[in-house]
């Protein structure tokens, strides 16, 4: 009889463990993918400026800003 109780306990523990492992696996997969995306975005954004651990000689291309238009007063 005691063996049957232990079998039931192990069966219940296994049923509880499988979803935990599945959810945990998905959490790890999502965590790794998001981390890789974050690293790629960092590299595309500013990583090219800090190659070798120091600032590169050339910076980003300066933005061309149009001069502010002077609108005459209509009154």
Binning pLDDT at 50, 70 and 90, where does residue 6 land?
A: very high
Query: Could you tell me the residue range of the domain that residue 30 belongs to?
Result: 23-50
Would 46 be classed as within a structural domain?
yes
Asked, for residue 55, whether it belongs to a domain, the answer is: no
Q: How far apart are CA 41 and CA 67, in angstroms?
A: 32
Inside any domain, residue 44 = yes
In a domain, 74, yes or no: no
Please report whether residue 43 resides in a domain. Answer: yes
Tens-place pLDDT, residues 7-28: 999 998 888 888 888 888 999 9
pTM: 0.46
Domain annotation covers residue 32: yes
Domain count, the chain: 1
Residue 62 is given by DSSP the state P
34: pLDDT strictly greater than 90: yes
Quote the mean pLDDT of the chain.
Answer: 79
């Amino acid at each position: 009889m005691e063996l049957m109780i232990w079998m039931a306990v192990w069966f219940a523990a296994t049923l509880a463990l499988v979803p935990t492992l599945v959810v945990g696996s998905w959490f790890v997969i999502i965590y790794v993918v998001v981390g890789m995306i974050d690293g790629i975005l960092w590299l595309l954004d500013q990583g090219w400026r800090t190659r070798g651990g120091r600032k590169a000689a050339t910076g980003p291309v300066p933005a061309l800003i149009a001069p502010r238009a002077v609108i005459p007063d209509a009154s």
